[in-house]
Amino acid sequence: MYTYLRICAAVIIGLHLISPYIEIEHIWGAGGFPFIPLLVRLALAAGAASLFWPRLATRAWALGLQALRSLRRHVSGALLAGAASLLALPVFWVARLQHLHWGDAYIFANAISYPGVYLTYSWMAPLDLYLHAKAWLLMHNMAGWDVQTTYAAISVLTGGIFVFSLLHAMDEWGDDLSQRAGTAALALTLGSMQLFFGYVEAYTILPLGILLFLWLGLRFLRGKGELWPASLALALGLGLSPSLFPLPLALLFLAWWAWRRRGWSVGRVALQVAGPMLIVGLAVVALMTAGHHGLDVFFSGADSPGGDKGFAFVPLTMVASKWVHYTMFSWAHLRDILNEQMLIAPLSLLLVVGVLLGLSRRVNWRDPALVFLAIAAASQFLLACTWNADYGGRRDWDLFASAALPMTLLAAYLLNRYVERPERERTYALAVAVSLMHLIPWIYFNTLPWPWT
């Protein structure tokens, strides 16, 4: 596995190194790497590549684990998670986003506070837009905040909660400190972590909802608790943004498991699965209706993805629309898919493929936790491969960022279950180093002003 990862890492590092010399539309998945000084690029690449040496990778992981064990002797796990989340807050804030070029950020930053508009309701992000609009109104009246500052504050606060929740949930992914640390490190160095650095868009809270759903789902499969908390977490996530609509497939697996393996009645399963969904769904409809943006607007298509032509999915044949940039089976579409994966999770999909193919004889394909995580990861990845990015892949990168976390947590689960400890720890060390090489310039790039022209 470690040898396979070295090959993958060499390709990723190589692509980052050549990215300044290629037009950005072809290699935007390198994030901010093309925009940092040459010496910094070389230093970051050399630092990551140094862990190609097995002894150094083993030593680096051992030192990190030793420091963590030393902390755990004096501090409880809950206190450590709390301290980490509090320390993350100033980091997220100081390195927060300083422009409005991604997704609908420019629209939100202006329309929410624009007199006579005061954008508050949208079926593309019902609860998310409402929450941010009302938070802006409150903070503007109290402290004079603008919309971007409000979005940034909620993004950073959500990031702190995400860090705490992730560290608290690690018992479900790892049996010992090394496994839990590897899983957390892999998740915390994803390119999608940019969403917590003062990000302005409708996807900043989604990773927290996804994490809670996956964590509660795993707990349920292991006989801990009921099914309705997982359903509620997913229902709230769907209320924030319907872009999570493939994830109910994983919830249906939990429902099947409750019926077939735990002997629950159909009525009990239906109540715990459908109950939270109906409650949240009806609440969203009531909220939107009260804002004169109800189901009539939803079914009219006036507030739907795909721009003026309503192309939710990438079309099979080219159409004349500024919101459609390529066809489903074109090189340009494949290029954007590859760039998206490199941007949000450089190695996660490669790790999953490596374990499932290279260690297929060891894998317990009937493991319910594996099946659950695989359905979640595959469903969101399939969405990223088929949904139409109205603004193009690069500007709409955040639309598909929700695919990063399920795939990464699946990768960590596979590594922890099926890769021997020495090789697994070397793999984690190298994967985290490459991810940091990618993440640091990406965060830095978004701290730079980028005026609209």
H-helix or E-strand containing 103? Answer: none
The model's pLDDT over 185-241, given as tens digits with 9 standing for 90+, comes to 999 999 999 999 999 999 999 999 999 999 999 999 999 989 999 999 999 999 999
The model's pLDDT over 129-148, given as tens digits with 9 standing for 90+, comes to 999 999 999 999 999 999 99
- For the cut 70, the answer to whether the pLDDT of residue 2 exceeds it is yes
| CA 281/CA 268 separation, integer angstroms | 20
Q: Is the dihedral of CA 18, 22, 28, 32 positive or negative?
A: positive
| CA 404/CA 214 separation, integer angstroms | 13
| CA 362/CA 320 separation, integer angstroms | 50
Looking at this protein, which amino acid is placed at residue 108? Answer: F
Residue 192 lies in a domain: yes
Residue 453 lies in a domain: no
- For the cut 50, the answer to whether the pLDDT of residue 58 exceeds it is yes
Number of domains in the chain: 1
Residue 128 structural domain: 1-447
- Residue where the block lists tokens 């009990």: 268
Residue 452 lies in a domain: no
Residue 419 lies in a domain: yes
Residue 227 lies in a domain: yes
Residue 31 lies in a domain: yes
* pLDDT attached to residue 305: 60
Q: Is the dihedral of CA 432, 411, 165, 82 positive or negative?
A: negative
* pLDDT attached to residue 308: 47
Residue 405 tokens read as: 């976390």
* pLDDT attached to residue 283: 97
The model's pLDDT over 151-190, given as tens digits with 9 standing for 90+, comes to 999 999 999 999 999 999 988 888 899 999 999 999 999 9
* pLDDT attached to residue 392: 86
Q: Which residues contact 353 (CB under 8 A, 6 or more apart)?
A: none
Residue 395 tokens read as: 């500007």
DSSP 54-79: HHHHHHHHHHHHHHHHHHHHHS-HHH
Report the pLDDT averaged over residues 53-67: 93
The model's pLDDT over 274-290, given as tens digits with 9 standing for 90+, comes to 999 999 999 999 999 99
Nearest alpha-carbon partner for 193 in 367, 452, 442: 442
What's the residue count for the chain? Answer: 453
